[in-house]
Amino acid sequence: MSSLIGFIGFGAMACRMGANLRKAGYRIAAYTPSGKGGDGDVPFLPTPRALAQEADIVIACVPDDEALEQSMSGPDGALAGMKAGGLLINTSSVAPETSTALAAQGAAIGVTVLDAPVAGSTPEAESANLVVLVGGHAADVARAQPIFDAIGRLTIHAGPSGSGSKLKLVINGIMGATLAVVAEGVTYGLASGLERDMLFDALDAVPVISPHHKRKLKAAKAGDFSPQFPTRLMQKDMRLLMTDAARQMAPMPATAAATQSLSLTRRRYPNEDYSSLFAVMEDMVANDDTP
């Protein structure tokens, strides 16, 4: 029989990755705290440990460090159910030190752990066009390569354990900070009297705006902030980046300012797409009574 891949977390990204893995011939099972996910054809097990006991390979796809700790540790955690020689792939965006600690926990029981967060949102997950950012030994990355090939278009071996998590923070930091700059440009344009549709259309036409942010501009123009990447997750990644940047004494003043804007956006629109920052900024201009 084909290998069974057990997903811990089966939300918007994981269920799409799971669908592509099934197309590649793998069997899929899952665990979520609610016992529910985005695909009714996938069996759900009651605990992470029960899932790990059945699965040949475990993929974790949870929202943050706390959720990863809850699903990995303790008597019902995945590590308690994994066998020596097993493979755990953590696609969650977490702090680099969390990834290295998990790798050490796995090594202590003979389990290989790769930190493998992905670059891309739900459209890329659905079309198997993710970029997989992997931290771990080269031989272990090669072992997991068929899985990465099924969910993504490119695998980048970033270095030893924790490197995938670091690269993910670099990418998301640039993504979040750049969106904040674009939103500020829109805010100035609206405040100065430029016609709204013309402004959004002009920015969509110029090469200085990335394809990703053009997609966000189109959504903002229409007022559609359906969550491809929820604000709560983007703000969380920015926070992790700023924390580790301070530890590394890496000055990031522009990213720090963008993090503040995304913190405000998370307070207002936690579960909408992080591009709802446009709505926050536009609302400030629209409700400004300055003569």
Query: Which pTM was predicted?
Result: 0.93
What stretch(es) of the chain map to CATH 3.40.50.720?
Answer: 4-160
**Contact call for residues 176 and 262 (beta carbons, < 8 A):** yes
User: 3-state DSSP call for residue 56?
Assistant: coil
**What Cα–Cα distance (Å) separates residue 154 from each residue in 130, 134, 243, 263?**
7, 11, 28, 31
- DSSP bridge pairs for 89: 59, 114
The fold of 4-160 is Rossmann fold (3.40.50)
- DSSP bridge pairs for 74: none
pLDDT of residue 286: 79
Mean pLDDT check: name the lowest of 6-20, 28-42, 232-246, 260-274: 28-42
Neighbours of 126 (CB within 10 A): 17
Question: For 244-280, how does the pLDDT look when each residue is reduced to its tens digit (9 = 90+)?
Answer: 999 999 999 999 999 999 999 999 999 999 999 999 9
pLDDT of residue 37: 58
Question: For 94-113, how does the pLDDT look when each residue is reduced to its tens digit (9 = 90+)?
Answer: 999 999 999 999 999 999 99
pLDDT reading at 64 higher than 60: yes
pLDDT of residue 155: 98
**DSSP structure string for 147-215:** HHHHHEEEEEEEESTTHHHHHHHHHHHHHHHHHHHHHHHHHHHHHTT--HHHHHHHHHHSTTS-HHHHH
Amino acid, res. 219: A
State how far the Cα of 63 lies from the Cα of 61, in Å rounded to an integer.
7
**What Cα–Cα distance (Å) separates residue 71 from each residue in 39, 49, 74, 90, 236?**
20, 8, 8, 11, 19
CATH number corresponding to 166-286: 1.10.1040.10
Helices then strands, counting H and E runs in the chain, come out as 13, 8
pLDDT-above-90 percentage for the chain = 93
pLDDT reading at 137 higher than 60: yes
pLDDT of residue 39: 60
What stretch(es) of the chain map to CATH 1.10.1040.10?
Answer: 166-286
Amino acid, res. 21: L
Q: Which residues are tagged catalytic?
A: 168
Q: pLDDT higher for 181 or 288?
A: 181
pLDDT reading at 287 higher than 70: no
**Contact call for residues 110 and 135 (beta carbons, < 8 A):** no
**What Cα–Cα distance (Å) separates residue 132 from each residue in 11, 200, 226?**
18, 32, 24
Confidence class of residue 1 from pLDDT cuts 50, 70 and 90? low
pLDDT of residue 139: 98
